[in-house]
Structure 1
Amino acid sequence: MAGRVAMAILLVASGATAAAAAGGAERRAEVVNTQVQRKIDVSTQFAKVVTTYTVKGTSGSYKFALPADAQDHLAFMSVTMDKAELEFELDAPSPGRDSAGEGLMLYSAAVELPQNKEEVKIAVGAVVRVKAVYTDVLTAFPKEITQLEEQSVVFASTLLAPSPYKTVKQTTTLKLASPKILSMTEAPNKRSVKSDQVTYGPFEDVPPFANGGELRIHYVNHAAFAKATSCLREIEVSNWGNIAVEEHYDLVHAGAKMKGGFSRMDYMAKKHAELPNPSFRKLDAYLPAGASDIYYRDNIGNISTSTVRHNLGGVELSLLSRFPMYGGWKNAWYQGYNLPTEVRE
């Protein structure tokens, strides 16, 4: 009888030890963001968002969230850890997994687990950096301006970068096109402004999927809102060692539309005084190394206002349009060059 009791006690103790070990493993596997720093650059016509996650814990992957309503505007995204590129994939076929993550697209990036003491730094504080570039997310307000008025835009996002993990500390910093801020989201004791830079936070003990509410800022932005509505490239390969490339572009100024007439005198006065101007003329094109016989034309004929610079990595072509481009104005042209067949684009 005593032996059976001893055996039962031993089994119970073994079960408790296994449960404790499992609980410890689960705790070790818990992922926590010790710090999240989000930097949003809206000084041009694009929104460039770099979110840096300092991660503690071990897991076979790291999950991050992006707003679902911005996916159609996502032009570029990359994920790195300690400067090494990480592969990532969409973690869910539909926005959010539950009510907490509704309105979000979850992505999963492969992260290697620490295998020995030399790699334990990954579990202690890995740095995962997500870079994303968005187009057409800056809204001109007002939508129409005169030639002498300043162009202002509105950018809307969230105060926090939502994450499926708990975050100890988080900040959001915006880089604007100018220090002229017309309005912005209030955040008592959590907002600081320094010239053209606005910082929100730090916010502490942020629960999973929290976004902090709407972030909205209205500011002056005279960047060139150049948008190509149509691009066509024609490539002709000859049997005599030459590749002829011709590119056709339709362009529009996608900023605030200009209302009223155009004054050449007002335009030149602003130009000579070096005052901010919502119009633009210059565009840059980057051609492959070895490009020659470069031309720049429109329906009228050859346009002589272009400059070519040869660099080690290729050829830089600077173009000046026949007229300044104001909001809503359109332009069309084509450019071309030749390449020897041994050059690959």
Structure 2
Amino acid sequence: MKRISLFLVFWAFANASEKIKSQLVNKNVERSIDLTSQLVKISTTITLENTGKDPIRSFLIAEEPRNLGNVSFRSVKDSSKNDLKFTPSDVDNHEDKKFYNVILKQSIEPGRSVSVVMEEVLMKSLEPYPNSITQKEKQLVRYFGNHYFYSPYFTTKQKTDVTLSSRGVENYTKLKPVSLSDSTISYGPYSSIQPFTDDEMVIHYESNAPFLTVTRLERFIEVSHWGNIAVEEHIEIRHTGAKLKGPFSRYDYQRDTSSVHHSIKAYRTILPASAHSIYYRDSNGNISTSSVRPRKEWIELELRPRFPLFGGWQSSYILGYSVPSYQYLFKSDKGDNILNMRIIDHVFDDMFVEELVTSVVLPVGVSDIRVKTPYEVERLPDEVTHKYLDNIGRTVIKLRKTNLVEQHIQDLEISYTWKPHLLLHEPVLLSIALFLLFVIVIVWVRLDFSLGVHDQSKRE
């Protein structure tokens, strides 16, 4: 009987919750779709209206079926630009759809409205078409989207603006009212849109934006309490745009003075303003075709591979630098050491990283390690590495995450306990090693290993 009563209570609460949420209406929706890079950036301003009689503290957002697995980053903010928390949610009778439940800072009172802004960054949502081109041809891509805002709620009014990277539009769907002005396509306004309405939007246009993908990035951060933090990145990149068809002519490439080209000659990396001892090399050695430009708040490093990258081509290199530890290593009120470093840093503009592995090498003798990440990551098993004159070993924290974009450039926090006297660990070992070496040399020079018989009379 208790189980039955608990089930009835839960069923009644779920029905009441669904009834409350069904009272919400999308009074107005304004979408902005940015197709100027290899990533699709969607900004949606939603005005929610409570048409019921009870206050509402949360609402649902639905993920479009065509975007499943392609959303790299999503955020929801209120009108005051405060981040709103959201979690995956299961909705009855919609097992085939994916929802997120967003918690508002304040309840929506009956008859009131509230505005929220949802930002989404989609990866692998632009398709090169044709998928292979010659050296001199322009790159064309296709985008598949939805004319309407995909929502579990009724939408009263909606408008969408799509910004392209050029005026070269081959074709686009024309759901009236629609207009094309320069490189912007405006859809709507549309009215009285039913929940879960899906009408395919297809845009075929010219895009020579760099389709550069980091297939794997290994980031090593070595912490030293002697005042330095060494950072080294092993980066594998690939041009994921339309593949090069036919032979490559260096002569024609050098003669082509056009600034708009689908190949990648160079790109820009941003380093911390305090970075020094910068090096950049590939498997053949140091690459001198790079330039460092100090700015006010960062260091701009222009990287130029040994050869231009066309569709399907790939390269790899190592980038390293050092930063002073006092800018990233702090002391807590309890005396613990706290490291604040970026889990991933800027590789190039509009970057997309398929796989990231960040390894943090902590000092000798740390204990009580606590790791705090800005978003969910996979923590790999800790390892132990040995450096110079190190007989104890250093703990290595390893973190892994896939499908990252610029919005994932956030700080990682690692706190640990460390005794200052361990700072003398290596100097003491070095002193002992030198002392033993001197003792061995002193004993060595005093030993006589000759095989002849000494004449005692001569000595007298």
Shorter-chain TM-score tier: 0.7 to 0.9
* Structure 1, 285-294 or 247-256: larger mean CA deviation: 285-294
Cα distance change of structure 1 residues 337 and 70 upon mapping to structure 2, 3 Å threshold: same
217, 228, 231: which one aligns with 1:231 = 217
Cα distance change of structure 1 residues 28 and 249 upon mapping to structure 2, 3 Å threshold: closer
**1:79-119 per-position Cα deviation (integer Å, ceiling 9, x unaligned):** 01112211111122xxx743xx575421111124459xxxx
State how 1:217-228 maps to structure 2 within 5 Å. 217-228=203-214
- Alignment: residue pair count: 306
Match in the other structure for 1:209? 196
Measure the CA separation in 2 of the matches of 1:27 and 1:66.
21
Match in the other structure for 1:111? 104
15, 23, 44: which one aligns with 1:30 = 23
Match in the other structure for 1:248? 234
Measure the CA separation in 1 of the matches of 2:100 and 2:303.
40
Amino acid at match of 1:250: E
Cα distance change of structure 1 residues 337 and 172 upon mapping to structure 2, 3 Å threshold: same
Name stretches of at least 5 consecutive residues in structure 2 with no aligned partner. Answer: 1-18, 329-340, 342-460
Match in the other structure for 2:250? 264
TM-score, structure 2 as length reference: 0.63
Match in the other structure for 2:84? 86
Cα contact 2:212–2:239 (8 A) shared by 1: yes
Amino acid at match of 2:57: G
Displacement of 1:68 in angstroms is 3.8
**1:119-177 per-position Cα deviation (integer Å, ceiling 9, x unaligned):** x7x96331111100011111111111000111001110111111111111112221111
Cα contact 1:40–1:49 (8 A) shared by 2: yes
Structure label with greater radius of gyration: 2
1:285 aligns with 2:269: yes
Name stretches of at least 5 consecutive residues in structure 1 with no aligned partner. Answer: 1-25
95, 112, 122: which one aligns with 1:134 = 122
Cα contact 1:167–1:207 (8 A) shared by 2: yes
Match in the other structure for 2:167? 179
Cα distance change of structure 1 residues 68 and 313 upon mapping to structure 2, 3 Å threshold: farther
309, 334, 345: which one aligns with 2:318 = 334
* Structure 1, 49-58 or 301-310: larger mean CA deviation: 301-310
Cα distance change of structure 1 residues 132 and 123 upon mapping to structure 2, 3 Å threshold: farther
Name the SS for the 1:72 alignment partner: coil
Amino acid at match of 2:76: V
Amino acid at match of 1:302: N
Measure the CA separation in 2 of the matches of 1:103 and 1:40.
26
Name the SS for the 1:322 alignment partner: coil
Match in the other structure for 2:420? none
Match in the other structure for 1:19? none
Displacement of 1:273 in angstroms is 3.9
Cα contact 2:86–2:102 (8 A) shared by 1: yes
Cα distance change of structure 1 residues 291 and 113 upon mapping to structure 2, 3 Å threshold: closer
Name the SS for the 2:254 alignment partner: helix
Cα distance change of structure 1 residues 170 and 342 upon mapping to structure 2, 3 Å threshold: same
Amino acid at match of 1:153: V
Match in the other structure for 2:422? none
Match in the other structure for 1:61? 58
Name the SS for the 2:236 alignment partner: strand
CA RMSD of aligned residues (A): 2.3
Measure the CA separation in 1 of the matches of 2:295 and 2:250.
36
- Structure of greater relative contact order (alpha carbons < 8 Å, 6+ residues apart): 1
Cα contact 2:33–2:163 (8 A) shared by 1: yes
Measure the CA separation in 1 of the matches of 2:127 and 2:101.
31
Displacement of 1:183 in angstroms is 1.7
Displacement of 1:263 in angstroms is 1.6
Name the SS for the 2:148 alignment partner: coil
**1:286-338 per-position Cα deviation (integer Å, ceiling 9, x unaligned):** 22342111111111221122222334543332211122111111111111001
**1:182-205 per-position Cα deviation (integer Å, ceiling 9, x unaligned):** 121132x32111111111111111
Cα contact 1:29–1:59 (8 A) shared by 2: no
**1:240-295 per-position Cα deviation (integer Å, ceiling 9, x unaligned):** 3222211111111000000111122322333x243x21011222222234211111
Amino acid at match of 1:310: P
Measure the CA separation in 2 of the matches of 1:113 and 1:177.
39
Measure the CA separation in 1 of the matches of 2:138 and 2:22.
53
1:200 aligns with 2:197: no
Measure the CA separation in 2 of the matches of 1:197 and 1:181.
10
1:164 aligns with 2:164: no
Measure the CA separation in 1 of the matches of 2:63 and 2:101.
11
Cα contact 2:56–2:107 (8 A) shared by 1: no
1:75 aligns with 2:68: no
Cα distance change of structure 1 residues 320 and 97 upon mapping to structure 2, 3 Å threshold: farther
Displacement of 1:210 in angstroms is 1.5
147, 157, 180: which one aligns with 2:135 = 147
